[in-house]
Chain A
Amino acid sequence: MKFGETIETSAKELPAEWQPYLIQYNSLKKNIKSIVEELDNTFRTLHLPTSSTDTAGSQTESGEQCEYDVGHDTRSTDMCVDAEEARTATCAQLPEVVAYNIEKDNDGLVHPVIVVKLHKHASNHCEQIVELPDIAGLPKSTSIMMPSLAPPHLVDSAGNVVPNSRLVEDVEEMQVTVRLQSDQMFFVQLMNYIERTRAFEQSYTQQYTSNVSSLGSELTFVTSPFKHDFQVWREIFRLYLDAEVWSHAEGDLRPTNTAREGQDRFSKFTRHIEAIGLTRQFRDPLSAKLLVSFYKLNSELTYMKLLQEMNELATRKIIKKHDKRTHLIAKTQFPQLVTFDTTTLTRALIFTVYTELVGIVPQINDYMCPMCLNIAWRPLRLECSHVFCSRCVVKASRCRMFNCPVCRSKDAIYKAGVSNVDQALLNFLKLYFPKEIKERQRDIQQEITDEETGAIVAIQSRNRPCIIM
Chain B
Amino acid sequence: MVAKFDLNDDSVVVVIGTGAGGGVLSNELAQKGVKVVALEAGGRYLPEDFINDEWESFGQLAWTDARTTSGDWRVAKDFSGLPAWIVKAVGGTTTHWAGASLRIQDHEWKALTNYGAVEGASLLDWPIDGAEMAPWYEKAEAKLGVTRTGDRAGLPGNNNYKVFEKGALALGYKEVHTGRMAINSAEYDGRMACQQTGFCFQGCKWGAKWSSAYTDIPRGEATGNLEVRDHAHVARILHDDSGKVTGVEYFDKDGALQMQKARIVCVAGNSFESPRLLLNSASSMFPNGLANSSDQVGRNYMRHMTGSVYAVFDKPVRMWRGTTMAGIVQDEARHDPARGFVGGYELETLSLGIPFMAAFLNPGGWGRSFTTALDAYENMAGMWIVGEDMPQATNRVTLSETKDQWGLPVANVNFSDHPNDVAMRNHAYARGEAIYKAVGATRTFPTPPYPSTHNLGTNRMSEKPEDGVCNKWGQTHDIANLFISDGSQFTSGAAENPTLTIVALAIRQADHIASEMAAGNL
Q: Is B truly associated with A?
A: no
Q: Which residues of A contact B (CB under 8 A)?
A: none
Q: Which residues of B contact A (CB under 8 A)?
A: none
